[in-house]
């Protein structure tokens, strides 16, 4: 709705450890600032499409869970970049 973008921010459930074997709890992990676009609101010439990977502002949006996935609704203006793969030159 409006000028919002729905992002899939589901995290891997792999246990992370330090080099000495200490397990890092989920609350101490830094959340990635990139996610896949799931849906786009009413935005004229958005420059992104469903399936693109984008970088968003760190403390932006509203996070919620639906089923076994986590989603983030962010304003289109809070997207910083689109990640694209290029061939080596």
36 neighbors 9 (Cβ within 8 angstroms) = no
64 neighbors 70 (Cβ within 8 angstroms) = yes
79 neighbors 68 (Cβ within 8 angstroms) = no
Domains and CATH numbers, the chain: 4-12+30-83 (2.30.33.40)
| Residue 47 three-state SS | coil
Rounded Cα–Cα distance for residues 2 and 78 (Å)? 14
Q: What is the pLDDT along the chain (89 residues), one digit of tens a residue?
A: 789 999 998 876 556 666 777 776 656 566 778 899 999 999 889 899 999 999 999 888 999 999 999 999 999 999 999 998 888 77
Rounded Cα–Cα distance for residues 61 and 37 (Å)? 14
Evaluate if pTM is beyond 0.95: no
Rg for the chain (alpha carbons), in Å? 15
């Amino acid at each position: 709705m409006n000028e919002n973008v729905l992002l899939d921010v589901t995290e891997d459930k792999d246990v992370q450890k330090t080099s000495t074997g200490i397990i890092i709890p989920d609350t101490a992990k830094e959340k990635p600032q990139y996610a896949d676009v799931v849906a786009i609101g009413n935005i004229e010439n958005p420059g992104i499409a469903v399936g693109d990977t984008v970088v968003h502002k760190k403390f932006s949006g509203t996070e919620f869970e639906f089923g076994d996935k986590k989603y983030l609704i962010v304003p289109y203006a809070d997207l910083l970049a689109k990640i694209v793969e290029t061939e080596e030159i």
